Amino acid sequence: MIKIIADKQPKLYELTYLLPADFTDSERATANEDVTKLITKYKGEVLETQDWGKKDLAYKIRHQGKFHPQAVYTHQVVKFQPDQVQAFERELLLEEKVMRQLLVVSENQSKPAATPEEKKK
């Protein structure tokens, strides 16, 4: 879990989470909406969302009684008040549709990183 920082300024965080690869498009969209609702519940703001697609896992992950060799990766840049992050992370752990998640403080606090398409321009 991320430590609570005494600073009251909003900070940028990078959230990467995995959904089961066997989810349909509608199930995946619902899961992404649930994560976004959870972010807004804790007064967060989604600045950028990237769908990294389906990838093979280094090892099978057991989720809801099944072993999954693949997952769909989603990466988001979000802005949170530091005192809200720990509660958000705790509730995200309980989200049944999310297989794994990683939330880290973004190194670039000024703005989200450019996507590969934006870098080409």
The 10s digit of each residue's pLDDT in 1-59 is: 556 555 678 899 999 999 999 999 999 999 999 999 999 999 999 999 999 999 999 99
Q: Where are the domains of the chain?
A: 11-108
Please, how many CA atoms are within 13 Å of residue 73, restricted to the half-sphere of its CB?
A: 14
Superfamily of domain 11-108: Ribosomal protein S6/Translation elongation factor EF1B (3.30.70.60)
Q: What digits encode the pLDDT tens for the residues 63-95?
A: 989 999 999 999 999 999 989 999 999 999 999
| pTM for this prediction | 0.80
